[in-house]
Amino acid sequence: MKNSFKLLWNRAFLFVGPAWYLLVWMIWSSGQLVSIADRLTFLCVVIPGFLIVYSSGFFIEGWHEKKKRALR
């Protein structure tokens, strides 16, 4: 691998982020989220979900680096 994992992960999310936003916008504007409770539930799942998936990459990188150091 030529680049660092962090750089590659950020580049991947540079492309995934707009697609995620488009999907959220399509669901939001579809008319399926009728009440405020529906919209809040949707936002409380989607935003933390995106952040958890994004941050999990750095957790995996740290875990992998720790494992590689232990094997040396």
Cα distances (angstroms) measured from residue 59 to each of 2, 38, 51, 53, 63: 20, 31, 12, 10, 6
pLDDT in tens, 15-71: 988 999 999 999 999 999 999 999 999 999 999 999 999 899 889 888 888 888 888
Q: Is the pLDDT of residue 1 over 70?
A: no
Kindly state the average pLDDT of the residues 6-23. Answer: 89
Domain ranges in the chain are 5-27+36-71
